[in-house]
Amino acid sequence: MNECSFINRGLKINRNQKNNKYLLILEAAVTVFARQGFHQSTVAQIAKEAGVADGTIYLYFKNKDDILVQFFAYRTKQVFEKFRAEVEKADNSLDKLRNLIRCHLMEFQRDRNMAVVYQVETHQNSRLAESQIREMSQMYQDLISEIVELGQQEGKIRKELYVSLVKRFILGSVDEVINTWLHSEKAYDLVSMADPLVDLLVKGIGTSD
């Protein structure tokens, strides 16, 4: 079974009682944030979604802003451990890129609420979880850089290309695929876009003539 698909719900994992309640609140919060937007959400609504008293929230978080910050901090580590594991399974640069993008799309499809909140907060340049979002973005870019540089060494990616430009190209493409999926009126399998996207990234849109 693919490592990226072994958890049925992103935040529900087997831990002690305290951590279970902490994660339960995080999951409830991101559900509320995704449904009605961060700024329109309240601690009372999060507590109701989590099935706990309002005061319980403050045993684990300072306020609503702190919930968002801690959600991104938690998910950054969790998601990127999976990204790294999937990349390391492949033996060459193109398969590593394919594994990374497939895992990325799979994670966002599996946890749609996370995808909604992440896309909204990053596109709105939110300052609440700025450091966590920046950390997530930097780790992703570093991983892509490793893959691109390996591809250049292998002769599978053009050596004259600027790595920084290739990174933005890949990040922008994945971001657009996810945004299109989130806003589509017709449901479809996001992960099915992984292979076509990688083929497009690698081969471009031109013919060999």
Model pTM above 0.95: no
Averages of pLDDT over runs of 10 residues in the chain (209 residues) are 41 50 94 94 96 95 92 83 95 96 95 90 70 79 94 94 92 95 95 96 79
Assess if residue 170 is contained within a domain: yes
User: How confident is the model at residue 17, as a pLDDT?
Assistant: 44
* Distance from C-alpha of 59 to C-alpha of 78, rounded to nearest angstrom: 23
Q: What pLDDT shows up at residue 137?
A: 80
Concatenate the DSSP letters of all residues of 115-170 into one string: HHHHHHHHHTT-STTHHHHHHHHHHHHHHHHHHHHHHHHHTSS-TTS-HHHHHHHH
In a domain, 71, yes or no: yes
44-60 pLDDT per residue, tens: 999 999 999 999 999 99
Residue 154 lies in a domain: yes
CB-CB neighbours of 187 under 10 Å: 7
Q: Which domain holds residue 170?
A: 3-203
Question: One-letter amino acid identity for 74?
Answer: Y
DSSP, res 39: T
Q: Assign residue 65 the CATH number of its domain.
A: 1.10.357.10
Residue 209 lies in a domain: no
Within a domain: 208: no
Distance CA 127, CA 118 (A): 13
Q: How far apart are alpha carbons 103 and 196 in whole angstroms?
A: 14
So what's the pLDDT on residue 103?
Answer: 96
Domain tally for the chain? 1
Do residues 128 and 65 lie in contact, with contact meaning Cβ atoms separated by under 8 Å?
A: yes
